Structure 1
Amino acid sequence: MKRIVFYLVVGIIVFGLAGGHAWAQATAQIAGTVRDQSGAVLPGVEITVTQTDTGATRSALSNETGSYVLSNLPIGPYRLEAALSSFRTFVQTGIVLQVNGAPVVNPVLEVGQVSEQVEVQANASLVETHSTGVGELIDSQRVVELPLNGRQATQLINLAGAAATIPLSNVGQLYSGKNNPDEAPISVAGGGANSALTYVMDGGTHNDPINNLGLPLPFPDALQEFKVETSALPAQYGQHGSGAVNVVTKSGTNDFHGNVFEFVRNGVFNARDFFAPVRDSLKRNQFGGTVGGPIVHNKLFFFGGGQFTIQRSAPVTGTNYIPTPAMLAGDFTKITSPGCNGGRQINLKTPFVNNQISRAQLSQPALKMLTYGYGTAEDDCGTVHFGSLNSFSSQYSVGKMDYRISPQHSVFGRYFGAHSFAPPTYTGTPLSITQPSPNDMVTSAVLGDTYVISSKTINSVRATFNKSSIEKTQVPFFGASDLGIQGITEIIPKYLLVTVSNALYSAAGATYPGYLYTTTYQITDDVSMIRGNHQIQFGGNYIRPIHNIWIYLNTAGAFTFNGQVTGLPMADFLIGTPSSFAQNTISEDRERQRYFGLYIQDSWRMTPRLTMNYGLRWEPYFGTVIPRGWVSHFDQNAFLNNVHSTVYPNAPAGTLYPGDAGYDAGNRPMKPKLNDWAPRISLAWDPQGKGRMTVRASWGMFYDLPSTLFYYGYSNEPPWGQAITYNSPPGGFSNPWQGFPGGNPFPYTFSKHSVFPTQAPYVSVPLNYHPPYLNQWNLSVEKQFGANWLAKASYLGTSTIHFWSPQALNPSVYIPGNCNAGQYGLTAPGPCSTTANSQPRRLLTLLNSSQGPYYNSIVTLDDGGTTSYNGLLLSLQHRLSSHFTVQSNYTWSHCISDLGTTLLAGSYTDPSNRRSDRGSCAGTDLRHIFNLSAVLQGPTFSHQLTRSIAGNWQLAVIGSAHSGIPFSATSGIDTDLNGVGGDRATQILPNPYCEHKTINCWLNGAAFATPVANGIRSSMSPYTLVGPGYFDVDLALTKTIRVGERQRVDFRVEAFNVANRTNFLTNSPNNPSAVSTGQQNGTAFGKLLYDVGPRIMQFAIKYAF
């Protein structure tokens, strides 16, 4: 801690001496050219801008070409004056600067006295003549007035276009997905799973280092505006490559402003969910307020606010499948019939005849488990409905101070805190355990200092501190001993995980307890200089993320039943033959990162109509440090030569640790890479020279910083951890450790001389690697029509090189034919390759029969992957004028990718062929996206009675539509017998969909072959299937009653999904372990069982002054 503080202080001193367009900070600039009435340029004109809310002023002189630039201006309303001897003073009011904006104001001076004024009341040009990227600004009007479901500002990111929310099933487990209810996994312009957006709030970093998502954002009333930008951004942008979300909180002004509000929901006003028998009983209250104003007029300002949310609800209905009374009697004829399997007949494998199983073969632990609240099947397919508790509370608070020390020097400080809590979802049945019980706290603080060294040189410094505490607990339900299971040491009692593929479970997904604590320090310094026609910027950014986590995954044991024995997962469960059993020690993971970036860029106005932006960014990758040296590397040459570690003498051959010869990366998984340079270049052409049309072309190279949780897999490795997966345990459900080589490895104690278990998983990355980088390019045309309309057309392209893909180094080798007992672990003559002998067939065991059995899976990184994205983005907007504002966009795009990962886990299905898993980008390849947002203000009327009834109405609308989400059909079993998993189904008919699509028949089960573990790999590419499309309209209707000139009361009603359209999903929106449309070995295959939600009503009252 002392060392970190020391680095932070030194960084502040060093950067301060460097003393700007700050790194993605919350500022804007005004630029233009001054001319006289004849069109001749005027040098030496004094340009003064005044922020009308605070009285802050800034001045500059036009250069020899008549050009001027005023950079690093706080956002807000401005007044511009242009004065020169022998000319009348030009004054333009109504200018509104928005975050990262660069409007053009071209004063025209008339001959006359300086004391005479020519005043123009108009906003600046809408056309972007400066930025290299493509983006959309969400202004304060839309932030506050648009109907946001849950009042979550992250919803506005999607309105910017070319953005898609990533389904929960595609963002990983182990909390690599959402850690906070307001975090939103979003892909922009094909930016990958969840690690490509840079979030900045008030100039400070706002990314969650564990998963690289954005931290929670303040509630709408505390936000001024924000901007989403992507594609070939200038060199000042770094850390993540896909784009940037720049958020600005509100500040105080010379007038006191504030509000008090409450938003209320009640289930009686909502529509019934399509899959629910009755309306929900949700009751939610969101209330709070804000206040801001001057402490010292024109000098010191404050702003503060808070929002509190209390949500209560009866259990929300879900669907699953459990054994029927007939199945419990041994009769499986109904559950295997076409009516329960998407039109596909299933027959239980030999030795079971006529889909019958003797009751004597049923597993006693399985029968005992069904007595723990699973209820009774509602039909012959085993359908059961259950309820999960849906209560929630949160508190958000914001505080900000702005101080103008002098006209040249200003500072600010901002604090943001978010605390959310949800009780367990458990309602008496294990099926209701769909989410952990979170108690999450986030703290964020930023200090900013801006100093105007001269009218042509500005320095900006930001220091940021973020801290999060994520504690997820769960209620106990039953343990191994409760079911009569022998041999399991329960590290946490009464938390046995049981998963039956596409059917029942004991607890879903990432519901196990976990404790995650992160701290992030940041210091940035940016300098901006105007030198003739050059606007030069340079600066640096240092970020220090730290995390310490403890995860309780599988610590009480975890069984999986996938149907590999009988052909039906439910039947495997009832006879007690799991496909695998896993148990872990508590995973303790401590990781440290250092991010450092330096950049220099220049905006060169080559001619009055042509500007070139070019720059260079240096982003060395220092790697992730894992304290205590809990990291390893597998060297196959060392394995083949029987070389053992000297640090841990009992380690199997081939695994090396820090301190061993041949391991020269220190306490890092891989060596640092210091030679990472990212050039950027763009051209902006104003063909008319009036600032009302531009043609821009840009290209840039970007690197991406992996999340701190990326290397989590090391925490489970021996000797400091244990994560054993025992495939096809011969002791079955009753005694899973029976027959395990070396005996039950639990309980376990770590020491330097610990005994290494057999069949342990490892992760290993190349010590020398190629970091992934993105090439981005765009071509855009913008045209302003009239005073307030802007149309844009942009082509966006992205290519990722050295994309990291997970690869299995130790797969099982398929051996054709029949073998004798004793060969490859067989206990009787039969096929050489089965799901039961995957471990003896692993590659390393075949190469070295004494050392190979110590290894189960070994996951490494293949840095040869690529991705590509190409899209057309069309947008039309009307800024607030004439009582309305509109913003709409349409995106037509296609994203293709090799298999990626947000954790060092998994593998492409064919470890020798990366391209076998190349296809549409997982969950985000939405070919068509349309967004519309608008705020329409009705007339006020002069007659008091008319005004009170028909006046001061406002309508706000959000409309969204997109094509279906791509998904894969999976077999659910290891069909190719390589021990990797994720095998896809085999399509045998040209059309995989039902002729008449319904919720009970979206995929045609007859279009896919019955999965058989025969060593044959499916030729079907991933994500070739597409789910239903999406369409939604949200409305907010507001009636305002004025109380004097400075006060008002708003009465507001909001409707989300106002048309009550059912938007079906192929996967559960909040439970990645729930049954899914694409899983072939289950009764849900081909069916649509989930939706986004019904129409929801919300009412609000707000008092503002």
Structure 2
Amino acid sequence: GTNTTYTPGNGYSGTASTGGTPTGVIPTPIESIEEFKVGTSNQTADFNGAAGSQVQMVTKRGTNQYHGALYEFYFGSNVGAANLWKNNHTLLSNLEATPLPSTHRNRFGAGIGGPLTPRFWGGKTYFFFNYEGMRFPNTISFERGTPTALMRLGVVQVLNSSGTYTAYNLHPTPVTYNGTTYQPAMCAGQLCDPRGLGLNPVVQKIWSTMPLPNDPQYTAGTVVDGVNAQGYLSNLALPQSSNFAVVRIDHDFGDKWKFMSSYRYYSFTQLVNSQTDMGGVLPGAKQGQYTSYASRPQKPDYFVAGLTTTVTPTTTNDLHFSYLRNFWQWGTAAGPPQFAGLGGAVEIGGESMNALIPYNVDSQDVRQRFWDGHDYNLNDNVSMLRANHLFQFGGSYQRNYDFHGRNDNGVGIDTSPTYQVFGGTGISNSAYPTPAGLPSNQLTNWTNLYTEVLGITMYPQVMYSRTGNNLTLNPVGTPGFDQSIIPSYNFYFSDTWHIRPTLTLTYGLGYGISMPPYEINGKQVQLVDDAGNPIAIKNFLQTKASMALAGQTYNPTVGFETVRNVEAGQKYPFRPFYAGFSPRASAAWNPSLGSDSLLGKIFGNNSTVIRGGYARIYGRLNGVDLVLVPLLGTGLLQAVQCTGASISGQCLGPAGVNPATAFRIGVDGNNAPLPAVSQTLPQPYFPGVGGNAAAADGSVLDPNLRPNHSDEFNFTIQRAFSNKLTVEAGYIGRKIANEFQVINIDAVPYMYTLGGQSFAQAYAQLYQQVNSGAAITAQPFFEQAMGGASSAYCAKFSSCTAAVASNESANIKTTQVYNLWIDLNKAPGWTLGRTMLASPAINGSNVATQLSSLDYISSLGRANYNAAFLAVTMKDWKGLTARSNFTWGRALGTGSVVQASSSITVPDPYNFKTFGSYGVQPFDIKFVYSLLMLYQPPFYRTQQGFLGHVLGGWSIAPLFTWRSGLPERVNVGLDAQAFGEVYGGSNSANYEEAAGAAPYTGGNSANYNVVSSTTIASAGNPAKNGSGINQFSNPAAVYAEFRRPVLGLDTNSGGAGVIRGFGFWNLDATISKDFRATEKIGATLIIQFTNVLNHFQPQDPAATSSSNLNLDNPATFGVVTNQYTTPNGAQSRSVEFGLRLRF
């Protein structure tokens, strides 16, 4: 225990300060802490409103003698550290090396405590003070994608049906590169670009600022595929600096009154890699050198005062008041246009840090925010000892005032006008010209590359902010803000009853109320129906499903309204939850069975403790949901997005344009079309009605939102074999309900039934026929939905089903159900009217597309966790103390993401039992083992004499960890749409993945020197500068064991992963030497090793990039392209040296 618990970014060379900041509000350097306690399950009744672990820490206090310390810790990448595998620690000779960045970190401080004043008012005053600083001129290896020289000429490469890359020149004239001339690509006998323009001039100019790739192994999603775009690896400076101080004052007013107070201050500044420029476009940047423009300052402080009173010899009262100020800020350069004259930043490749532009402008990384929280807490606890009972009861009141500002809507749109250039819903897949022989699994890649080269602007977008009672429009670029008050109350009672000397029962009841946020100016937005009633997501979708089963359409007009205008004027954006009762019960039995009986020999005489317990613990809703989300609905912030941007300047909606009519940046103007917005907004505001602009992606709170609750069970048996050896085995279980779940409101009603057949059934039949090339048979649903044989849509075909198969072949083969349904909604002959909020105006309707994506933050998820463990503890056996723990666990649920998540929605919002995502959680690790040892040689402990000073005082503390593999997803295309869920410019279903086509034969161990003779995994071939490492010994065989998920055939995607990634092991260690000059003066030398053996741990392919286990990217299937980063932030070996002087 010599490291701090908060080291920002973990500080190791080459590891990530990737936009994160130190965890926790106030850091707790170990020099400032006297003791701490951690509880992970079945906490006592006084702990409410948080279902996770409970950590309690006590600040050091002064005593009657002065004690102090001076210390410094130093890490240098050139002292004892090893290089990364991705740099010059290579496993294969063909890998090009880059030098280890030279960097160092200094952490230093001092602490002192003792008596402050002579005795007065019944006792002395004591003080403790600690200062700690950190300076880290951090430099890391960093990488983003950049287009290859061939792509910069307008030539893209896509896999053909034989598994080789084919080059397609999208220019109308021949292009020559490296002695090879590429003729213009033809699609159905015509130029693939129907306008004959080829490489977009704005795209070409942007790409000219970027350095050429230097890492062909790097891939990132669908944007950087390792062929058309590759990695640019270089150093990035991310300096960090912090200052921390704590002071504690104690005074004893006699034996019965004890006062304490403490104040902590912290200031932390750092640059992170959330926004970097490699092209030298932003001020101060240089081409070919990464420069960070993302700062993350933090300046919290904390004050606490307490009075402990001994009321009677058996009654104690503990009263505390605390104040916490939590301030942090995210600063970036936002998203300015790349060149003067452009109306917005061009984002080639869509919402991604790896967009093919010199500096990223994706909202999720470059958004600007601040948080200024002021939290007041008052709590009082009473302990009473009566006979064999220890009664404890008390309560607390907390008032949080949170001032928050932001320039984004949380799901990909901010106040900087941005023009996204990539394949999206504005153009149906069936509308793209395709070259002969293009495989269906390459259609997504083709459309993305096609739109990027031609500069087709798929989603022009911007977010406006509004203020005042009339919601008056602010100038472009003005951020939004809100000021919320969140009170919470907590009461509890518990009794520890010592029934017998060998039996103790503890029971209690807690009750907590966490009120919804109250925004002092009413700046919260809800979704309402046309009567102004709040819409609950479960009721909405259940009604839609039940009517669809009956062959009827449910698609009410919806609007956005600020909370003070909803119904008779509401105070909160969701209903308060008053049922937070938390019962607790546990028992501990120390049986005395005698030493002669069989049970006595097994359990020992008073050597075993059997414990069991149950608790219901309620969780909490964090500030993201309570403060940030209510601001995000259309109104106070109005995000607009021009889906289907056309040459004519119109926004024609999903599938509204084609490559001949879509707007192209530069060619059709430097200002892409955006929906018109009014100067003020009526309440409620109905998007898409009467000419109103459609609402862009956003988020709202479900009016039935509530905290989750966890029913927790545990049972343990602890056996002491001696005073030095203890073995414990047990079970831990949790059943979690009302879990955080994000649901998108607009999804295809796949249960819609016509002619006795649902759309899902009809689609499944049609998919199988189209995909296999079989004859198309008429499906009752399509025949009725498309108007019958005589309708304009069906008249030229043998059946309406045949017409759908012909017109929508691309969407069917790629299981893009949402795009298919939207296309059918627009087709002549469609008989069902407006079935979705994204549907266009039909038959002269006054209601056009209202929105295409809206995330509901709900409490409809569920989860469970079950684990067995075995722990062995040895205490000071000949100087050796050790603890070994093995856990076998299982975590299942409908999809666990942190409450700060946005745009991550369930695959099937109509299935409230599984959401199409029930399965293993991302943190489901079957087996975990750890061994912590501390060896302090028993000889020369007093350090007497010369040999005592040399040989005494040593400590060696290795830490070995091992675990089985994490869940790993096999991706398909966009990871969305297969079950009809919406896919927008910045929305995706988190847990949609491939289905099994055959029994899985792949393992989860790294295979070296894998050379693929087919397209599958060919990017890993050493001859192509690949790593030669693959998760599978036979990638082609494993690839064939998966297929796309198909609506009507599949109902669930299997959670966070249907296969397992690599197992993991690591060895860290600390060596320390204590030097004792006198009884009161000494020093400790500390050397901390991370990854002592410099063990190479490959990163799971899917963890590096979703394209590395994507059926639409067979060339990278299973290929390992990176090294695993451990939870402490390290990859390769690093060494930190410390010296602590004490007195």
Q: Same fold by TM (over 0.5)?
A: yes
Once residues 734 and 168 of structure 2 are traced to their aligned partners in structure 1, the CA distance between those partners, rounded to angstroms, is 45
User: Does residue 658 of structure 1 match 2:658?
Assistant: no
| 3-state SS of 2:31 partner | helix
Q: Which residue is equivalent to 1:802?
A: 738
Q: CA deviation at 1:365?
A: 2.7
Cα 1:354–1:927 change in 2 (3 A) is farther
> Quick check: 1:744 aligned with 2:675?
yes
Q: Contact 1:346/1:567 (CA < 8 Å) preserved in 2?
A: no
| Change in 2 beyond 3 A, CA 1:946/1:526 | same
Q: Measure, in 1, the Cα distance between the counterparts of 2:5 and 2:304.
A: 28
Separation of aligned partners in 2, 1:241 and 1:149: 21
Structure 1, residues 263-296: CA drift from partner, whole Å, max 9, x if none? 1111112100111222221211111111112224
Aligned twin of 1:318: 142
2:1075 aligned with 1:1041, yes or no?
yes
Match of 2:230 in 1: 383
1:335–1:301: structure 2 CA closer, same or farther, 3 Å change rule? farther
Task: Give me the whole-angstrom Cα distance separating, in 2, the residues matched to 1:504 and 1:402.
Answer: 59
Q: Work out the CA distance in 2 between the residues paired with 1:576 and 1:888.
A: 59
Q: Is the 8 A contact 2:348 2:356 kept in 1?
A: no
Residue in structure 1 matched with residue 629 of structure 2 by the alignment: 713
Would the aligned equivalents of 2:137 and 2:240 in 1 still touch at CA under 8 Å? yes
Task: Give the secondary-structure state (helix, strand or coil) at the position aligned to 1:885.
Answer: strand
Q: 1:911 aligns with which of 909, 914, 935?
A: 909
Q: How does 1:90-239 map to 2 (within 5 A)?
A: 143-144=1-2, 181-183=21-23, 214-239=24-49
TM-score w.r.t. length of structure 1: 0.72
Show the counterpart of 1:868: 864
2:126 aligned partner: 301
Q: Is the 8 A contact 1:450 1:459 kept in 2?
A: yes
Partner of 1:668 in structure 2?
Answer: 572
Match of 2:1092 among 1058, 1082, 1088: 1058
Structure 1 residue 630 displacement after superposition: 2.7
Report the CA distance between 1:790 and its aligned residue. Answer: 3.3
* In the alignment, structure 1 residue 1103 sits paired with structure 2 residue 1141: yes
* SS at structure 1 position matched to 2:1007: strand
Amino acid corresponding to residue 532 of structure 1 in structure 2 = A
Structure 1 pair 496/845, CA: closer, same or farther in 2 (3 Å)?
A: closer
Task: For residues 818-873 of structure 1, give each alpha carbon's deviation from its aligned partner in whole angstroms, at most 9, with x where no partner exists.
Answer: 899999xx9x9944977495797761355985335223323335544321000113
Q: How does 1:991-1070 map to 2 (within 5 A)?
A: 991=1000, 993=1002, 997=1007, 1000-1002=1029-1031, 1004=1035, 1006-1007=1039-1040, 1020-1024=1053-1057, 1025-1066=1059-1100
Residue aligning to 1:940: 940
The answer to whether the 8 A contact 1:258-1:1104 is kept is: yes
Contact map agreement 1:633 1:669 (CA 8 A) in 2 = yes
Name whichever of 263-272 and 1082-1091 sits farther off.
1082-1091
1:291 aligns with 2:206: no
Identity over aligned pairs, percent: 18
Deviation at 1:535, TM superposition (A): 0.9
CA distance in 2, matches of 1:774, 1:350: 59
- Residue 894 in 1 paired to residue 890 in 2? yes
Q: Indicate whether 1:556 and 2:416 are aligned.
A: yes
Q: Secondary structure at the match of 1:948?
A: helix
CA distance in 2, matches of 1:771, 1:779: 26
Match of 2:513 in 1: 620
2:586 and 2:1119 mapped to 1: Cα distance? Answer: 49
Q: Structure 1 1037/835 Cα, relative in aligned 2: closer, same or farther at 3 Å?
A: same
Q: Which residue of 2 aligns with 1:567?
A: 444
1:701 aligns with 2:616: yes
Corresponding residue of 2:694: 758
Q: Write the deviation string for residues 990-1034 of structure 1: whole angstroms up to 9, x where unpaired.
A: 337479635643364734768799999785323223222222221
Change (3 A) 1:452 1:679: same
Segment drifting more, 600-609 vs 941-950? 941-950
Residues 995 and 1044 in structure 2, CA contact (< 8 A), matched pair in contact too: yes
The whole-number CA distance in structure 1 between the counterparts of 2:904 and 2:584 is: 34
Gaps of 5+ in 1: 1-142, 156-166, 169-176, 184-213, 643-650
The corresponding residue for 2:455 is: 576
Between 431-440 and 239-248, report the one with greater CA deviation: 431-440
Q: Aligned partners of 1:153 and 1:789: how far apart in 2?
A: 38
Distance 1:281 1:413 in 2: 43
Q: Conserved in 2, the CA contact under 8 Å of 1:971 and 1:1080?
A: yes
The answer to whether the Cα contact below 8 Å between 2:665 and 2:672 also exists between their aligned partners in 1 is: no
Distance 1:216 1:402, change over 3 A: same
In 2: Cα distance, 1:522 partner to 1:793 partner: 39
Letter in 2 for 1:1065: Q
CA-based RMSD: 4.5
Q: Quick one: distance in 1 between partners of 2:792 and 2:185? A: 20
- Is residue 147–residue 212 contact of structure 2 (8 Å, CA) maintained in 1? no
Q: Distance in 2 between matches of 1:407 and 1:459?
A: 14
1:599 to 467, 473, 492: 492
Q: Is the 8 A contact 2:323 2:376 kept in 1?
A: yes
Matched with 1:930 is 929
SS of residue matched to 2:949: helix
* Residues 777-816 of structure 1 aligned to structure 2 (within 5 Å): 777-812=713-748
Q: Contact 1:538 / 1:600 at 8 angstroms: preserved in 2?
A: yes
CA distance in 1, matches of 2:571, 2:59: 40
Q: How many corresponding residue pairs?
A: 890
Describe the SS at the equivalent of 1:997.
coil
From 200, 221, 226, the counterpart of 1:363:
200
For 1:269-284, what aligned pairs fall within 5 Å after superposition?
269=79, 270-276=81-87, 277-284=98-105
Cα shift at 1:635:
4.3
Residue in structure 1 matching 2:56, options 243, 246, 264: 246
Structure 1 range deviating more: 981-990 or 673-682: 981-990
Partners of 1:895 and 1:1045 lie apart in 2 by 51
Equivalent residue number for residue 262 of structure 1: 72
Shift of 1:936: 2.0
Contact kept? 1:741, 1:758, Cα under 8 Å: no
CA distance in 1, matches of 2:722, 2:879: 16
Retained in 1: the 8 A contact 2:137–2:239?
yes
- What is the distance in 1 between the residues matched to 2:262 and 2:9? 18
1:736–1:638 CA distance, 2 compared to 1 (3 A): farther
Structure 1 CA distance for aligned equivalents of residues 449 and 850 of structure 2: 32
CA distance in 1, matches of 2:664, 2:403: 34
Q: Deviations over 1:957-1015 (max 9, x none)?
A: 22222222223233342443542432434554533747963564336473476879999
* Structure-2 separation of matches of 1:552 and 1:822: 45
Look up the equivalent residue of 2:104 and give its one-letter code.
K
Contact 1:1049/1:1101 (8 A) holds in 2: yes
Contact 2:460 2:672 in 1 (8 A): no
Partners of 1:356 and 1:150 in 2: how far apart? 59
Gaps of 5+ in 2: 88-97, 171-183, 217-225, 280-288, 409-413, 433-442, 465-478, 536-555, 594-604, 647-661, 751-758, 764-781, 795-802, 812-816, 827-833, 1009-1026, 1126-1130
Structure 1 stretch displaced more, 749-758 or 1050-1059: 749-758
Q: Is it true that 1:521 corresponds to 2:376 in the alignment?
A: yes
State whether residues 335 and 366 of structure 2, in contact with CA within 8 Å, keep that contact through their aligned partners in structure 1: no
CA distance in 1 between counterparts of 2:204 and 2:42 reads 59
1:396 aligns with 2:255: no
- Letter matched to residue 665 of structure 2: S
Q: CA deviation at 1:943?
A: 6.2
**Do 1:347 and 1:355's aligned partners in 2 also have CA atoms closer than 8 Å?**
no
Letter in 1 for 2:929: F
| Partner SS state of residue 798, structure 1 | strand
1:480, distance to aligned residue in structure 2 (A): 5.4
1:410 lines up with 2:258 in the alignment: yes
